[in-house]
Amino acid sequence: MTALLSIQAVTKVFGGLTAVDNVDVDIAERSITSLIGPNGAGKTTLFNCLTGLHRPEAGEILFDGRSLIGLRPDEITARGVARTYQNIRLFGRMTALENVLVGQHLRLHASHWSAILRSTRQQAEERAARTFALELLAFVGLESHAEVVSTNLPYGEQRLLEVARALGSRPSLLLLDEPAAGMNPSETDRMMELVHRLRDEMGITIFLIEHDMKVVMSVSETVAVLDYGEKIAEGTPEEVRANARVVEAYLGPEVVLQDTADTPNL
């Protein structure tokens, strides 16, 4: 089956330093792919290139067979790519519900005049948006917090809210930047389960950056490894873990052992 997203020889340079160096990654529809690598390997930079925050010096990014290069972030979101952030960036003073409503911005089309006049159509659209937002909150398990101002949510739930906001734009590809960072084990499990449900119930393709090997190994079908901006390996978790270069460049022996211990059911 064809790749939903195909990253071809993308290169991004800051000043003298090549943050992403000629990277190719293909992501199949309805797949869960992880991008791993030590700090500074250029993972988030690659995400920023995908979402239009950065413009790669060279290379091509095809989504649904159309190029994303040079599009504005909002245009890319309109194409169906949504993301979350490594360090949570919610709209702090908005309630959870409002955050998700902003997420739907692109999917609402009532004119501003109709907003002033409260036309029935606009009203209906707003109502639909609200219900959909509540559904999404329920999906990530925040239905009870809809009216809570987002800064007052606990850390883990803020991450969940970011996911819900991203879902607001009805994406077909979701980029998760370290979804489990800073979470305790139970929250992490909740997140992993959510990732699976996103794919299985919503049919959304997932592309995530993660440091926590437990998460990576358990959720992902494909793993790509970046090191100093270069892709040094790609394959199933097993292959990657077996890959000598990855082991010495990234994981390191003791991590391997610990990981195998942690994940017997592979």
Partner 1 sequence: MTPVSANGAIRNGLIAFAFLGYLILIGIPGRLGGSALPVLALVAALFFWVKLRFDAPDTGGAGLPGGSAEGKPGWQIGAPGQSSGRGVGALFPGRGGTLVLRHGLLAGVTTGLLIAGMSLAFASAIGSGASIQPVLDKIVPVNVGALIGVSPGQIANDDVPLFRYPLQVLFFTVAGLFAALAAVAARARNLQTTSMARLSAYLDSLPFRTTARFAGIALPFLLLAYIVWLGIPGVSAFGSNEGTVRLLFTLIATGSGLFAIRLAHPGREQKIVALLLALGVLTMPFILDQFQNSVMGLVFIFVMMGLGLNIVVGYAGLLDLGYVAFFAIGAYTYAFLSAPFSSPYISNLLNLLGISPEIPLLGYWTALPVAMLTAAIGGILLGIPVLRLRGDYLAIVTLGFGEIIRLFMLNLGELTNGPRGILEISQPGLFGLPPQSFSSGLLSSQGWIFLVALVSSAVVAFVAIRLNDSRLGRAWFAMQEDEDVAEATGVHLVRTKLLAFAIGATFAGMAGQLYASRQINIFPENFSLFVSIDALALIIVGGIGSPAGIVLGALALKGLPEVLRGVDEYRIVTFAALLVIMMIVRPAGILPSARRRVQVSPTDEQGPTTAAEERENDASLPAQGPPARPEDARSEEPA
Partner 2 sequence: MAPSRLTAQAAGVNGKTALRFLLRAFGAAILVLVIWRVTTVGLAEGYPASFWISQALNGLVLGGVYALVALGYTLVYGILFMINFAHGEVMMIGGIAGFFALQFSQSRGWLEGPWPVVVVALLLIMLFGMAASVLIGITLERLAYRPLRQAPRLVPLISAIGASLFLQYSVLLIFGVSPHSYRKPALISGGMRMGDVFIPYTGAIIFITSILLMLALYFIIQRTKLGRAMRAVAEDRATASLMGVDVNAVIVITFMLGSALAGAAGVMLGFHNTVVKFNSGFVPGLKAFTAAVLGGIGNIPGAMFGALILGLIEAIGPSALGIPTEYKDVIAFTLLVLILIFRPTGLFGEVLSEKKA
Show contacts of 140-149: CB within 8 Å, 24+ apart: 140/164, 140/167, 140/194, 141/190, 141/194, 142/96, 145/96, 146/95, 146/96, 146/97, 147/95, 147/96, 147/97, 148/95, 148/96, 149/92, 149/93, 149/94, 149/95
Residue 108 binds which one of partner 1, partner 2, none, with CB within 5 to 8 A depending on kind?
partner 1
Stretch that binds partner 2, among 5-13, 100-108, 115-123, 211-219 (CB under 8 A): 5-13
11 vs 236, beta carbon nearer partner 1: 11
73 binds partner 1 (CB under 8 A): yes
Question: C-alpha 6: how far from its chain's center?
Answer: 16
What gap in Å lies between CA 31 and CA 130, rounded to an integer? 29
Applying CB under 8 A, which of residues 28, 106, 134, 148 lies at the interface with partner 1?
Answer: 106
What is the spatial order of strands in the sheet that 66-67 belongs to?
17-28, 3-14, 58-63, 66-67
71 vs 213, beta carbon nearer partner 2: 71
Site for partner 2 in 30-69 (CB under 8 A): 55-60, 67, 69
Site for partner 1 in 116-145 (CB under 8 A): 116-118, 122, 126, 129
What gap in Å lies between CA 233 and CA 241, rounded to an integer? 10
Applying CB under 8 A, which of residues 31, 33, 44, 158 lies at the interface with partner 1?
Answer: 44
Applying CB under 8 A, which of residues 9, 70, 92, 121 lies at the interface with partner 1?
Answer: 92
6 vs 18, beta carbon nearer partner 1: 18
With beta carbons less than 8 A apart as the criterion, state whether 33 and 224 touch: yes
Residue 2 binds which one of partner 2, partner 1, none, with CB within 5 to 8 A depending on kind?
none
Applying CB under 8 A, which of residues 36, 71, 96, 101 lies at the interface with partner 1?
Answer: 101
Least distance from partner 2 to the Cβ atom of residue 28, Å: 19
- Alpha helices (H) along the chain: 43-50, 73-79, 96-103, 112-117, 120-140, 155-168, 185-202, 213-219, 237-242, 244-246, 253-262
Residues at the contact surface with partner 1, assessed by CB under 8 A: 14-15, 17, 19, 39-45, 48, 51-54, 72-74, 77-78, 82-83, 85-89, 91-94, 98, 101-103, 105-106, 108, 110, 112, 115-118, 122, 126, 129, 149, 151, 165-166, 168-169
